[in-house]
A and B are shown apart, each in its own frame.
Chain A
Amino acid sequence: MLADTLLFYFFALLTLGGGVLTITRRSAVHSAVALITSLVGVAGLFLLQRAEFLFAVQILLYVGGIMVLFLFVIMLVNLDEAAHQRQFRRQWWLAAACAVAVGAEVMWFLYQGAGALRLPPPAPAAAGGPGNTEAIADVLFSEYLLPFEIASLLLLVAVVGSVVMAKKRI
């Protein structure tokens, strides 16, 4: 139980610290590295929540896939000039005030309603029962089969669309 608590705060620190660094660093490459830290922290939180399949997907897809894409684009697009210019818009203080106000509001209501969200004692994992991946596959390929197919179609459209966008001449 204590190990769980310590790990939660460790991964929360990774996630939030990486997020703050992502939006404050001047160089886009530094931002990307900080974002990788943040995504690894989120993957650790998934593991703490017994979502092992999502943990693997997060590492493979986000850290291995999307971040490589980001780094490729950072190298294709010349960002040296942008790093020497102003990093924040002029209305950044207004944006900060609004975002912090919304965040404080959500935090306040979560704090007030914490008593209502009583967790039922977690059922102990039955030995030999279906693991997390099997449970996900059971539901995904029966109840959510149509959304699954639509998602694959969306990915196909996105692949074609991004190739068309990035081509020099269509």
Chain B
Amino acid sequence: MTDLFDTGLDRELTLLGAQIAIPATPSMAPAVAVALRQRRAPSRLGLRMSRGLVLAIIATLLLVGIAAALGIALGGVRFVIGSGTPAPLPPGVAADRGLGRLVTLDEARSAVSFQIRFPAGTALGEPDHVYVSTLLPAGGRVALVYGDRPGFPADTKSRIGVLITEFRADIGPDSFEKLIQQGVRVEEVSVNGATGYWVAGGRHFYYYRNADGAVVDDTMRLVGDTLIWEEAGLTMRIEGAPSLADAQELAAALH
């Protein structure tokens, strides 16, 4: 009886397996390749140059130390060790931040219902990664991820310098009510002539009304200070800028 029963269940499960509606596989290779091309593989030449640079720095520091020990004046001479071009952000570092799916810029443009703004003429340049979420809010949400940039040092843990998020939503002072009650500092500031909010420190939750009028709970994706404001129906969020002035400068450059 047990055997008969087991055979019946096996047969049913086999039939059921053929009935499960599995969607067609989306093409992933192009987006993965784009992300990987931004990863710079260290060449042997690069490795040798790095070693050479390290040796040169050590030699320079030794000379400076010896000069100081011997009381040799080095007045007027300043040694500047440039940071050079920052390494591109490795793929996958922002994957677990709930930003959506990794896409190319063109894919992002066609996935959202608004014109994406980019910080033109700033040290940020092109984003390292672009993420899109079409689940929430209505009209989609785009996230521009930037790694280490001059003036915008990456967080050592997340390796992200700046994160800019854009989506259609209404925000107001009540969006941050809970935060204020919890003692988080939320400052009302001016951003491109509109009212914005500067939320200082921590990983915080807030809410907004999306284009359908539905209330959506959201969270800041990075630990750090955040500037959030609404402009022409589009809500924008800048996370990771070192100061309010830096965030406001980036906001002014968004076109």
A complexed with B: no
